[in-house]
Amino acid sequence: MNTQTHRRGWLAFLAFAGAITGLPLRAKAEAAQPKLLLAQDYKPGIDVARYLVSEKLDGVRAYWDGVKLLFRSGQAIGAPAWFTDKLPKGQALDGELWLARGKFDELSGIARKTLPVDAEWQRLSYVLFELPGGAGTFAQRFEALKGIVQRANWPQLRVADQLRVANDKALKLKLAEVVDSGGEGLMLHAAAAAYTTGRSSVLLKLKPVADADARVIVHIAGKGKHQGRMGALLLRTEDGIEFKLGTGFDDATRSNPPPIGSTVTFSYRDKTPSGKPRFASFLRVRELP
C-alpha cells in the first residue's frame, strides 16, 4: 500500500469513527487558524476621542467564515444547525459567543460540547465587533454590522455597543461603571482604522488588572501541600518570555493541569524590565477544542 492510499484510508476511518462516536477525531493540525485582530494593552497618553469604546465581554471568540462557526484555534464550534442557519452565508463575521457577565466557565462548557444542547444554545448571543475584510473605517464597518444584525432580525445576533468618550476622565468613569456592574473592562478600537489582523495598536484593551496569554511548556511538580500534583506552570509568551506561574489554581486544576502546548490566560499588575509579568495569577485555559 503506498503512502497516499494509506493516508486516504486513515482519514476515511477517522471520519467513520467520528460519525459513530460524535468525537472530533481529526487532528488539530488540520484546522486553519483564522486571521484575527488581537488587542494590545491600553497605555495612558493616547487621544481616546479617536476611538470607539465597547465593553470587553468575557465570552468565547467565534469567527464565522460564511459557512462554519470557528474557535480562535480554527476548530469548528459544535453549534446547532438552527443557530448557524441564522448567520449570513458567504459573509465573514468576527465576535464572541456570550452568555452573561461572570458566566465564562458555564459558557465555555456549552461551547465545548461536540453535541450541542438546544436549550443551552438558546441562552447564548453572538455579539459582533468586526467585519472581516470590510471596506472603509472601523466606524463605517460598525454601521455595516448594525445593518447585518437588523436584516437578520434575530435577537441572538447582536452588535457590540460602541460609544465615543471625550477624554481620559470620561473613559475612567465608563470603566468604573462597567467593572462595578460585573464587567471585565473596555475595548478601544480606532474609529478611522482600516481592517487589519494580528496584534495591533488599533485595538486596545483596558482592565483594572491586565491580562495576557501564554503557552504551557512544562508542568512543574508541586511540593508540600501540593505534593503529587502540579505546583506551577512554565509558560512562554508570544514574545518568547518564559516565566513560572504558580498562583490562581484551584485544586481541580492542580490535579488536572492544562496540557503541554495549550494556551492559558493570566492576570498581572506590571512587568519587570526584562518583560516578565509581576504578580501573575492563573485565570483560565484559553484555547477550546
CATH number at residue 214: 2.40.50.140
Q: What is the pLDDT of residue 129?
A: 98
Catalytic annotation on 56?
A: yes
Q: What is the pLDDT of residue 287?
A: 59
Classified as helix, coil or strand, 82 is helix
Low-confidence residues of the chain: pLDDT under 70:
1-31, 287-289
Percentage of the chain exceeding pLDDT 70: 88
160 exposure class (CB count in 10 Å sphere: 0-12, 13-18, 19+): buried
> Within this chain, do residues 137 and 78 fall inside the same structural domain, yes or no?
yes
- Residue found under cell 490566560: 265
What total of structural domains would you count in the chain?
Answer: 2
Q: What is the mean pLDDT of the chain?
A: 89
> Within this chain, do residues 82 and 148 fall inside the same structural domain, yes or no?
yes
> Within this chain, do residues 102 and 199 fall inside the same structural domain, yes or no?
yes
> Within this chain, do residues 70 and 190 fall inside the same structural domain, yes or no?
yes
Q: Is residue 23 part of a domain?
A: no
Which residue range(s) make up the domain with 135? 37-206
> Within this chain, do residues 246 and 168 fall inside the same structural domain, yes or no?
no
pTM above 0.75, yes or no: no
Q: What is the pLDDT of residue 272?
A: 87
Residues 6+ apart with CB under 8 A from 258: 216, 233, 264, 285
> Within this chain, do residues 80 and 165 fall inside the same structural domain, yes or no?
yes
Q: Is residue 1 part of a domain?
A: no
The CATH number that applies at residue 175 is 3.30.470.30
Q: Which of 160, 188, 206 is the last residue of a domain?
A: 206
Q: What is the pLDDT of residue 19?
A: 39
Task: Name the catalytic one among 56, 68, 205, 271.
Answer: 56
